[in-house]
């Protein structure tokens, strides 16, 4: 019976790999070459957790060339005979574990590393990867570009949701694995490189400037950035002492200024609604990269492809609580990010002369059954190509308004604050959100979520 089950399981590549490893003896097996997410099966790796990334990049805008070293401090979560990192393109010249050169191979977007001796479960080890080349962004299932996106002038827009981290550093690229980061970028004088968290140091020599950044809160790989441009930089502290660092492409500076000036007010307003701001830094990177077509909530410091409007700023800032501090377990739950950030826009608009959230819900509900809004349920996009479609955003916000209508303001805002507070720096999935909502409101909410979050098409009544 057991043998039969194993044989059946061995038909899947991951388990076949595990079984092959098991037969090599020592009880150590290869880490699975996937985090097991059906939407992005090639993303992430099993068998280890990355505690900390120390990434050093040297970038030359004129040639687009990147010279890099990544030092990953990891902990084995099983007895590991080998493991994978996600890396797309680029040339790896060496991999060392705890300082010693080890064997490695490339296959598709996987960099497979085989230590000289198996790494026992619980062991902390460092992996140093030296690599170089001209990074190339990846095309997502929905056709958008993601990762290291170079502009005509050599500046770089780095936004890696969901899978683009692999275009610029070797990582365990799934939000299940969160880590702290140090990113140092060296660019020619006159250029500025901006990453997450706080700027620790900046130094110049021989015509090149190095920017040392540090993110001290756990971060999913897709939220890391190292955007590079000829930016105008502004840095200051908010009234409550939070350091803000904004880097803005001169072509967008005039349009961006009044909106960026609202960053402290937006953070203060969202902190009242959602609980304390989760991170120790804030700011914005505003590029002139209209071809990209989106912004991203890169942790502490969202990156915008143009001067944002206030709604976009409110949206990306709300993601710091919903998506960044509290991460997804799987991409199917994307409404937990996008629905919540969209609802933050509804709340902002309602308090700043726009329609009430109830009116927003009614206006959306009035859209005809053939509208994109009803194409698939917010809670079940069905495939990777749909995660940034309209339903996770707009229907996701509608779900929250239906919840608020049902449980009342007091319970509703307690639910939002508890979600962000209880799961700060961690993870949450939809079932846990429903459970929390039922617990706080004392109501059974399964039919509400069945209809509004998981229902196919337009619900029969509002
Ligand atoms: N999370 C971003 C936002 O809504 C959108 C990212 C879109 N990414 C992409 N590859 N299309 O704020
Ligand atoms: Zn969003």
How far away, in angstroms, is 195 Cα from ligand 2 center? 19
Which residues line the pocket of ligand 1, CB cutoff 6 A? 140, 144, 146, 161, 294-297, 315-316, 338, 388
pTM beyond 0.90: the answer is yes
Question: Is 382 inside any structural domain?
Answer: yes
Q: List the domain range (segments joined by +) for residue 24.
A: 1-29
Question: Is 317 inside any structural domain?
Answer: no
Tokens 């079932």 locate to 431
pLDDT at 3: 37
pLDDT at 343: 99
259-279 per-residue burial string, b: 16 or more CB within 10 A, e: under 16:
bbeebbebbebbbebbbebbb
For residue 337, give the ligand 1 atom closest to its CA.
1
Question: Is 60 inside any structural domain?
Answer: no
**What is the pLDDT tens value at each position of the chain, 462 positions in all?**
333 333 344 444 444 444 444 444 469 999 999 999 999 999 999 999 999 999 999 999 999 999 999 999 999 999 999 999 999 999 999 999 999 999 999 999 999 999 999 999 999 999 999 999 999 999 999 999 999 999 999 999 999 999 999 999 999 999 999 999 999 999 999 999 999 999 999 999 999 999 999 999 999 999 999 999 999 999 999 999 999 999 999 999 999 999 999 999 999 999 999 999 999 999 999 999 999 999 999 999 999 999 999 999 999 999 999 999 999 999 999 999 999 999 999 999 999 999 999 999 999 999 999 999 999 999 999 999 999 999 999 999 999 999 999 999 999 999 999 999 999 999 999 999 999 999 999 999 999 999 999 999 999 999
Domain count, the chain: 2
- CA distances 156 to 168, 230, 407, Å, are 11, 10, 45
Tokens 């050169």 locate to 101
Question: Is 167 inside any structural domain?
Answer: no
pLDDT at 26: 67
Question: Is 427 inside any structural domain?
Answer: yes
Residue 120's φ and ψ, nearest 5 degrees, are: -70, 150
Closest Cα to atom 6 of ligand 1: 296
Question: Is 44 inside any structural domain?
Answer: no
Question: Is 443 inside any structural domain?
Answer: yes
pLDDT at 11: 44
Closest Cα to atom 5 of ligand 1: 296
Question: Is 386 inside any structural domain?
Answer: yes
The Cα 57–Cα 210 span in angstroms is: 9
Sign of CA dihedral 444, 447, 448, 454: positive
Return the CATH number at 430.
Answer: 1.10.390.10
Q: Is the ipTM of this complex over 0.90?
A: yes
Read off the DSSP letter of residue 250: G
Number of other CB atoms surrounding residue 287 within 10 Å? 29
Q: CB–CB of 233/244 below 8 Å? A: no
């Amino acid at each position: 019976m057991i043998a039969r089950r194993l044989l059946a399981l061995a038909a899947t590549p991951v388990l076949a790999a595990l079984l092959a490893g098991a037969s090599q003896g020592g009880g150590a097996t290869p880490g699975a070459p996937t985090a097991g997410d059906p939407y992005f099966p090639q993303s992430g790796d099993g068998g280890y957790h990355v505690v900390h990334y120390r990434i050093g990049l040297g970038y030359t805008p004129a040639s687009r060339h990147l010279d890099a070293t990544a030092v990953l401090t990891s902990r084995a979560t099983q007895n590991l005979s080998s493991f994978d990192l996600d890396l797309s393109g680029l040339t790896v010249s060496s991999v060392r574990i705890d300082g010693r050169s080890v064997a490695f191979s490339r296959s598709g977007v996987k960099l497979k590393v085989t230590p000289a001796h198996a790494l026992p479960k619980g062991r902390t080890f460092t992996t140093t990867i030296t690599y170089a080349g001209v990074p190339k962004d990846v095309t997502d299932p929905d056709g958008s570009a993601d990762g290291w996106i170079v502009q005509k002038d050599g500046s770089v827009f780095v936004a890696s949701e969901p899978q683009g981290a692999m275009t610029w550093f070797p990582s365990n690229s799934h939000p299940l694995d969160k880590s702290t980061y140090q990113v140092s970028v060296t660019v020619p004088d006159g250029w500025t490189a901006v990453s997450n968290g706080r700027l620790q140091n900046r130094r110049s020599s021989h015509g090149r400037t190095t920017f040392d950044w540090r993110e001290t809160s756990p971060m999913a790989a897709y939220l890391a950035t190292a955007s590079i441009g000829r930016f105008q930089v502004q840095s200051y502290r908010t009234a409550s002492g939070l350091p803000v660092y904004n880097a803005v492409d001169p072509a967008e500076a005039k349009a961006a200024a009044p909106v960026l000036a609202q960053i402290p007010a937006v953070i203060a307003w969202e902190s009242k609604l959602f609980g304390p701001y989760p991170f120790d830094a804030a700011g914005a990177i505003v590029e002139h990269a209209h071809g990209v077509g989106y912004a991203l909530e890169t942790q502490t410091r969202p990156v915008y492809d143009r001067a944002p409007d206030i709604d976009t700023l409110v949206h990306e800032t709300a993601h710091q609580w919903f998506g960044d501090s509290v991460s997804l377990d799987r991409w199917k739950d994307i409404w937990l990010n996008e629905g919540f950030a969209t609802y933050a826009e509804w709340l902002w608009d309602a308090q700043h002369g726009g329609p009430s959230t109830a009116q927003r819900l009614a206006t959306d509900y009035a859209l005809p059954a053939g509208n994109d809004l009803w194409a698939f349920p917010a809670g079940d996009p069905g495939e990777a190509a749909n995660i940034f479609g309209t339903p996770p955003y707009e229907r996701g916000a509608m779900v929250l308004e239906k919840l608020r209508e049902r449980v009342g303001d007091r319970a509703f805002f307690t639910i939002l604050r508890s979600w962000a507070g209880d799961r700060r720096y961690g993870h949450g999935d939809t079932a846990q959100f429903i459970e929390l909502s039922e617990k706080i409101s004392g109501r059974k909410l399964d039919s509400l979520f069945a209809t509004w979050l998981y229902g196919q098409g337009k619900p029969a009544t509002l």
